[in-house]
């Protein structure tokens, strides 16, 4: 991560908010994300666990956070454990945080080396009734919470087993849903870097380029502007490839007369931007592309004002489905009979619009929160209607990032999105 935080205030606040939510006599144990082997002696690029980062600001592996809350308000302990610097390791992999650095970054006064965690856990466990641990969700491996948290072979395992296990994740999720000013600032930075990449593509795209050349250009702009890279695998899909919703091969030629759908977002300070744009490879929309693009754009613009407190993704999905279906009828993509025969579970519009319209955004590109989560001020979501017509080699999606408010704030309001704006930006 290139970004270095300047203040620990945000993390201190997050720690205190978590402590306030804990039951009395509780022990919290959290672990940094594991390092994933790639091949041979290589590892995948390290990405900190989002919850761990949210509470500590520490972007380093082999760390633990232990919080203990007694029955009095004054009885709390916050302990951070980090990897001990090892001269030989540092020669190969670079400097590790010192105890002082880790304390300054996290705002946690007591920082120890990781090998001491066992003693602390076993000292605090007998004084506790509850054990909060998080089990990694959507994890590709079957890891139970105990093994994940390295608690299985502690000599006080029997004490830990007697504690009431409680879900840590749901407490942190509730906190992460509402973004602080600091987080909005980070997300704005991710968005503005994403804009730079979009403008660079508008400024140089031409027929017969390869999809990966566009990807390379986006990557270059991200890195040049201080992002750690892509927040997710970018989709650079020309023509019919745009109809494969999770297309990431990005290895085909961009043909004259086709549209290019790009779904890309920078990651800055571990925060994601998530943008989709659809532009003509040769700089000019054909009449048919123009009509279809305008249909999606109309729905997109009608949806943005819906990101107000009290609404839900579920309700927004219903509106986008309804409005896109109306467009599909107008465009004769669907017949009246097809629409009538649609059911709640399988509405007619699903033929050309198969995905959801929105998800939460933050440290994770698909951030915490679900379709029923009631919007509150300060939540951040995407808005991404689309139309995909395989038989016409056309896939269109337009996506922006929005802060929920009485007047929703479109973070990408200054990205070219109108047909005229896009064509003007591509004219050269």
Asked whether 396 and 363 are in contact (CB, 8 A), the reply is no
The alpha carbon of 363 is separated from its chain's Cα centroid by a whole number of angstroms, namely 5
Helix (H, G, I), strand (E, B) or coil at 347: coil
Tell me how far apart the alpha carbons of residues 165 and 144 are, in angstroms, rounded to a whole number: 12
Whose Cβ is closer to Mn ion: residue 105's or residue 193's? 193
| DSSP category for residue 334 | S
Tell me how far apart the alpha carbons of residues 303 and 297 are, in angstroms, rounded to a whole number: 10
Instruction: Pick the piece of the chain touching Mn ion (CB under 5 A) from 3-11, 227-235, 374-382, 402-410.
Output: 374-382
Backbone φ and ψ of 208, nearest 5°:
75, 0
The alpha carbon of 97 is separated from its chain's Cα centroid by a whole number of angstroms, namely 26
Q: Binding mask 229-268 vs Mn ion (x if CB under 5 A, - otherwise)? A: ----------------------------------------
Considering only residues 382, 385, 401, 422, which one is a binding residue for Mn ion as defined by CB under 5 A? 382
Q: Smallest distance, Å, CB 70 to Mn ion?
A: 43
Q: Smallest distance, Å, CB 344 to Mn ion?
A: 24
Whose Cβ is closer to Mn ion: residue 128's or residue 186's? 186
Instruction: Pick the piece of the chain touching Mn ion (CB under 5 A) from 193-201, 240-248, 272-280, 325-333.
Output: 272-280
Considering only residues 274, 325, 364, 410, which one is a binding residue for Mn ion as defined by CB under 5 A? 274
Total residues at interface with Mn ion (CB under 5 A) = 2
Tell me how far apart the alpha carbons of residues 228 and 99 are, in angstroms, rounded to a whole number: 25
Q: Smallest distance, Å, CB 303 to Mn ion?
A: 13
Whose Cβ is closer to Mn ion: residue 51's or residue 364's? 364
Asked whether 67 and 15 are in contact (CB, 8 A), the reply is yes
Q: Smallest distance, Å, CB 36 to Mn ion?
A: 24
Residue 364 interacts with Mn ion (CB under 5 A): yes or no: no
The alpha carbon of 316 is separated from its chain's Cα centroid by a whole number of angstroms, namely 20
Q: Smallest distance, Å, CB 89 to Mn ion?
A: 38
Tell how strand 130-133 and strand 164-167 pair up.
parallel
Whose Cβ is closer to Mn ion: residue 118's or residue 366's? 366
Q: Smallest distance, Å, CB 401 to Mn ion?
A: 9
Q: Smallest distance, Å, CB 357 to Mn ion?
A: 10
Which residue spans within 32-124 are E strands per DSSP?
37-39, 42-43, 64-69, 76-82, 110-113
Instruction: Pick the piece of the chain touching Mn ion (CB under 5 A) from 23-31, 307-315, 339-347, 376-384.
Output: 376-384
Backbone φ and ψ of 284, nearest 5°:
-135, 125
Whose Cβ is closer to Mn ion: residue 221's or residue 274's? 274
In 3D space, the residue among 202, 396, 199, 212 whose CA is nearest the CA of residue 286 turns out to be: 396
Footprint of Mn ion (CB under 5 A): 274, 382
């Amino acid at each position: 991560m290139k970004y270095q935080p300047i203040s620990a205030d945000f993390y201190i606040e997050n720690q205190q908010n978590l402590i306030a939510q804990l039951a009395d006599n509780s022990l919290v144990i959290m672990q940094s994300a594991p390092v994933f082997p790639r091949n041979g002696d290589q590892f995948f690029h390290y990405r900190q666990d989002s919850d761990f980062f949210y509470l500590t600001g520490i972007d380093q592996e082999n760390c633990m956070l232990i919080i203990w809350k007694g029955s009095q308000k004054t009885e709390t302990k916050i302990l951070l454990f980090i990897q001990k610097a090892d001269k030989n390791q540092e020669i190969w992999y670079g400097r590790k945080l010192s105890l002082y650095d880790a304390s300054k970054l996290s705002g946690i006064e007591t920082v120890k080396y990781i090998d001491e965690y066992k003693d602390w856990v076993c000292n605090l466990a007998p004084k506790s009734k509850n054990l909060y641990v998080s089990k990694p969700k959507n994890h590709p491996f079957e890891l139970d919470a105990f093994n994940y948290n390295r608690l299985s072979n502690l000599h006080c395992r029997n004490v830990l087993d007697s504690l009431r296990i409680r879900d840590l994740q749901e407490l942190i999720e509730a906190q992460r849903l509402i973004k602080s000013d600091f987080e909005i600032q980070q997300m704005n930075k991710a968005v503005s870097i994403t804009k730079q990449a979009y403008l660079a593509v508008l400024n140089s795209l031409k027929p017969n380029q390869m999809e990966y050349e566009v990807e390379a250009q986006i990557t270059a702009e991200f890195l040049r502007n201080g992002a750690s890279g892509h927040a997710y695998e970018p989709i650079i899909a020309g023509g019919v490839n745009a109809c494969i919703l999770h297309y990431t091969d990005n290895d085909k030629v961009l043909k004259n007369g086709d549209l290019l759908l790009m779904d890309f977002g920078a990651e800055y300070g571990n925060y994601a931007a998530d943008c989709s744009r659809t532009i003509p490879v040769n700089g000019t929309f054909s009449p048919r592309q123009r009509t279809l693009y305008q249909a999606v754009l109309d729905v997109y613009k009608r949806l943005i004002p819906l990101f107000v407190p009290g609404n839900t993704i579920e309700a927004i999905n219903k509106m986008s489905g309804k409005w896109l279906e109306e467009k599909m009828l107008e465009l004769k993509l669907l017949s009246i009979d097809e629409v009538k025969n649609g059911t709640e579970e399988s509405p007619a519009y699903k033929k050309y619009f198969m995905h959801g319209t929105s998800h939460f955004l933050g440290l994770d590109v698909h951030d915490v929160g679900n379709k029923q989560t009631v919007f509150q001020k300060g939540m951040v979501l995407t808005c991404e209607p689309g139309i995909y017509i395989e038989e016409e080699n056309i896939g269109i999606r337009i996506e922006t990032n929005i802060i929920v408010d009485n007047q929703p704030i479109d973070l990408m309001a200054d990205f070219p999105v109108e047909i005229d704006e896009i064509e003007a930006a591509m004219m050269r």
